Structure 1
Amino acid sequence: MTAIPDQDTSGTLPEFPGVRAAACPFDPPPALQALQRDTPLTRVRLRDGGTVWLVTGYAEQKAVLSHPHVSSDITRPGYPLPILTPKRPDSSISFILMDDPEHHRLRRMVQGAFTVKRVEQMRPAVQRIVDDLIDDLLAGPKPVDLVEAFALPVPSLVICELLGVPYADHDFFQDNSKIIVKRDVSVEERAAAGGRLRQYLDGLVGDKLDRPGDDLLSKVAARVTAGELTRQEAAQMGVLLLVAGHETTANMIALGTLALLRHPDQLALLRGSEDPSLIAGAVEELLRYLNITHGGRRRVATEDIEVGGRLIRAGEGIIVANDIGNRDPEIFPAPDELDVRRDARRHVAFGFGVHQCLGQPLARMELQVAYGTLYKRIPTLTLATEFEKIPFKHDGQVYGVYELPVTW
């Protein structure tokens, strides 16, 4: 077991996060790829000057994410806070930044809405949403920005329906959620956006307390009535579900479409197939290949542990870079190739262990419907601008594109 110094006294440690190559914007940063070739665990320097363990190996990532002495609690000393996070996070943090038993207590209150069975019951409604939006695309002018006209509205409509949020307010929560997930905004701007969303959701929780409906937010409000949640906790849970429920899926729809347009042989396979298993497999491969949470999953060791032959001491921060884990050649042969026929189900795009993404069944189903419908109904879909002019979200915690001009 090898101990590594806490501080980068020589100033020679690699910096995280790295920069993606302009010629290969779908790939992790070249520096990250080089680190993975050298070692599955290494120390890196963050932009605020702190140092943490970076985990690049697939097996080591799963070991860290399932280790009983690795914490997701953002309030623990040593937790590697994102650079624009307040040094003392307030009490309105979400359960994904907590440990069991509190994490489990809060998560189980909403997890029933995201079971595979419940999600499959929503598939016809999601299909109608997708078809209606494509009808609008075909009837409207072109070229069109696929992000605004399709990628954002699909998950927004779905999560609004699930939570019981008026879709008329979607511009409000999209504008504020974009601020939360961008890197190039100040701490104050991010806090203000979070505050606006919490205030909005607090008002909705109040409405559900007075007039409950058949939606998830009403079920959360019922927990307030039962004394299991505070109203503040209910509002923050609503913020988490609202932002996570549309921001990540919207970026996957747009970025996945762009990746397929850049790989016409793979797009042709989807366009010409009526096999649901091929569509489902393509979703898993695109999740593996793109992995839009490119800032890594952050943790802190609560006791001394050994991972990959390295000693991680109690109180040391850890970042699990899932994007490079999904490119580990030991697990995925020719990992930098997009192959929709690959069995990519072992990817870690949704994390691993007790904190893996709660909404992954819903995200999978939405992507299956979107990818499985768009290219068949608009078979001549193509970019309406040069690829080099596409604005990628290099400044965000969630990777994607700001715009995707298309025509047909």
Structure 2
Amino acid sequence: MSHLSEFPLARPTGCPFDPPTALGALRAEEPLARMTYPDGHEGWVVTGYAEARAVLADSRFSSRQELLRMPYRMPGMEQMTEMPPAAVGDMTGIDAPEHTRFRRLLAGKFTVRRMRQLTERVAAVTDEHIEAMRELRPEVDLVQAFAHPVPAVMICELLGVPYADRETFQRYVSLLFSADALPEERYEGVVKLHEYVGELVQAKRSKPTDDLFSDLTSTDMTDDELAGIGGLLLAAGLDTTANQIALGSYALLRHPAQIPLLLKDPDRAIEELLRYLTITHTNVRSALEDVEIGGQLIKAGEAVTVSLQTANRDPLRFPDPDELDLTRDAIGHVTFGHGVHQCLGQQLARVEMRVAMPALFTAFPTLRLVGEPALRPGHQSIYGVQYLPVTWDS
């Protein structure tokens, strides 16, 4: 049986969009294989599409944070041997029935219909930032000028963050996801964000407004639960989509022949970009009991790391998977996960990408790179672009 002694993070030289070579090679040999975790635990790594979906859909694999093991060491966490329980309101690190309760209260707020009703507002916000970009030549950081502010405005409006507070909130989120921040700075970002959202909860309870957060104050959630969920939604709704827009733009600038296909059929094109990039590249679970997957017996207590990025490049599911092909039918990818923990905000992300990215390349048909971008390091849980220098002809 194949065995990984460590979880690879480095991407192939010159191929910033491709998963680590060792993971792709492992998928071809054994899509469910043994792996040694940094703390010495002998667990599993999943690289195949069918196996990934099987694990993510099976309630016998737990998402409880205190049961999980990280497949790689993160800066500032080298001495951590056990994960703490998830913070109150953090849906990503709990199981049913607590997760079911939160999910039921939130699911109706993020329906396809409701998110598509935001299209007109996304278009207006996008146009505002495109017009602002026109004044910034000759060189622009596309991340700060466009990819970051568009989803930031949208998630703040959706949740009812006051306009005057947006800069403060974004600073806290930036600390959480900064590759350069020290562990104590990231912790400060967590604390400050929680404090801010806690104050926002009180404001919405005393004076509700027309937004999702005010809607949630009418449920049976406690203040701490609301603060936890609000912080999670604010941070995730900004960082993931911002990196998806930025990395997607970079991929298209590296594959300019694909840009007309984006403009012709944005819905299909965005699904392929989501599959191809898979910015949330890794997921983790822990077996609650013995489970057989793909002919292998995973024993109770064993850790399972699911490589979403290699599952989305499985040739058994997607022909020529390493090619970016915006005409491909990529429906069924696992970029947003699978099963009960599938990303709640996926429809909002789709609307933002479908509107913002075609608008960008329509407004700037000669958009091009003017230097090397700064990419996030592999140990970050969300892959993306920190700096993307571009220009265009006037």
Cα deviation 1:184-223 (Å, max 9, x = unaligned) = 7555443322111100000000111111111111112222
Deviation at 1:166, TM superposition (A): 2.0
- How many residues are treated as equivalent by the alignment? 385
Matched, 1:18 2:18: no
Query: What do the CA deviations read for 1:297-350 (whole angstroms, capped 9, x no partner)?
Result: 111110000011111110111111100000000010100000000000111001
**Counterpart for residue 236 of structure 1:** 228
Does the 8 Å CA contact 2:38/2:71 hold for their aligned counterparts? no
Of 240, 252, 256, 1:248 maps to 240
What's the secondary structure of 1:285's corresponding residue? helix
1:64-93: CA deviation from partner (whole Å, max 9, x where unpaired): 0111211111123x5548743773236435
Contact 1:74 1:81 in 2 (8 A): no
In the TM superposition, what is the alpha-carbon distance from 1:266 to its structure 2 partner? Answer: 0.5
Among 79, 93, 96, the residue aligned to 1:100: 96
CA distance in 1, matches of 2:153, 2:163: 7
- Point out the more displaced range, 320-329 or 130-139: 130-139
Partner of 2:278: 291
The partner residue of 1:270 within 244, 247, 262 is 262
Of 198, 203, 208, which residue of structure 2 is paired with 1:207?
A: 203
Q: TM-score, normalised by structure 1?
A: 0.90
Aligned partner of 1:393 in structure 2 is 376
Q: How does 1:3-402 map to 2 (within 5 A)?
A: 13-76=4-67, 79-80=69-70, 83=73, 84=77, 87-89=83-85, 91-92=87-88, 94-182=90-178, 187-223=183-219, 228-271=220-263, 273=264, 278-294=265-281, 296-385=282-371, 389-394=372-377, 395-402=379-386
Q: C-alpha distance in 1, partners of 2:333/2:384?
A: 19
Contact 1:79 1:316 in 2 (8 A): no
> Residue 133 of structure 1: CA displacement?
0.7
Q: Percent of pairs identical after alignment?
A: 47
Deviation at residue 230 of structure 1 after TM alignment: 1.5
Q: 1:31 deviation in Å?
A: 1.0
**1:169 positional shift:** 2.7
Q: Is the 8 A contact 1:69 1:305 kept in 2?
A: yes
Q: Residue type matched to 2:165 in 1?
A: D
- Deviations 1:94-119 (CA, angstroms, capped at 9, x unpaired): 01211111101012222222101111
CA distance in 1, matches of 2:96, 2:72: 22
Contact 2:85 2:93 (C-alpha < 8 Å) held by counterparts: no
- Output the CA distance in 2 between the equivalents of 1:216 and 1:159: 10
Matches of 1:187 and 1:48 in 2, distance apart?
A: 20
Distance 2:61 2:254 in 1: 39
Q: Residue 49 of structure 1: CA displacement?
A: 4.1
SS of equivalent to 1:33: helix
TM-score (norm 2): 0.93
Distance change >3 Å, CA 184–CA 93, structure 1 → 2: farther
Q: CA separation in 1, counterparts of 2:121 and 2:46?
A: 40
C-alpha distance in structure 1 between counterparts of 2:292 and 2:169, whole Å: 42
Looking at structure 2, the residues matched to 382 and 46 of structure 1 have their Cα atoms a distance apart, in angstroms, of: 41
Which secondary structure does the structure 1 equivalent of 2:314 belong to?
A: coil
Whether the aligned pair in 2 keeps the contact of 1:18 and 1:32 (CA below 8 Å) is no
Aligned counterparts of 1:184 and 1:56: Cα–Cα separation in 2: 29
Which SS does the other structure have where 1:75 is aligned?
A: helix
User: Per-residue deviation at 1:170?
Assistant: 2.9
> Where does structure 1 lack aligned partners over 5 or more consecutive residues?
5-11
Q: 1:145 to 1:91 in 2, by over 3 A?
A: closer
Residue in structure 2 matched with residue 405 of structure 1 by the alignment = 389
Residue 374 of structure 2 aligns to a residue whose secondary structure is coil
SS for the counterpart of 2:45 is: strand
Amino acid at match of 1:396: Q
SS in 1 for 2:292: strand
Whether the aligned pair in 2 keeps the contact of 1:32 and 1:324 (CA below 8 Å) is yes
**Matched position secondary structure for 1:371:** helix
Q: Report the more deviating stretch, 152-161 or 104-113.
A: 104-113
Q: Contact 2:159 / 2:211 at 8 angstroms: preserved in 1?
A: yes
Per the alignment, residue 9 of structure 1 pairs with none
Higher mean alpha-carbon deviation, 16-25 vs 56-65, is at 16-25
- Aligned equivalents of 1:144, 1:175: Cα separation in 2: 20
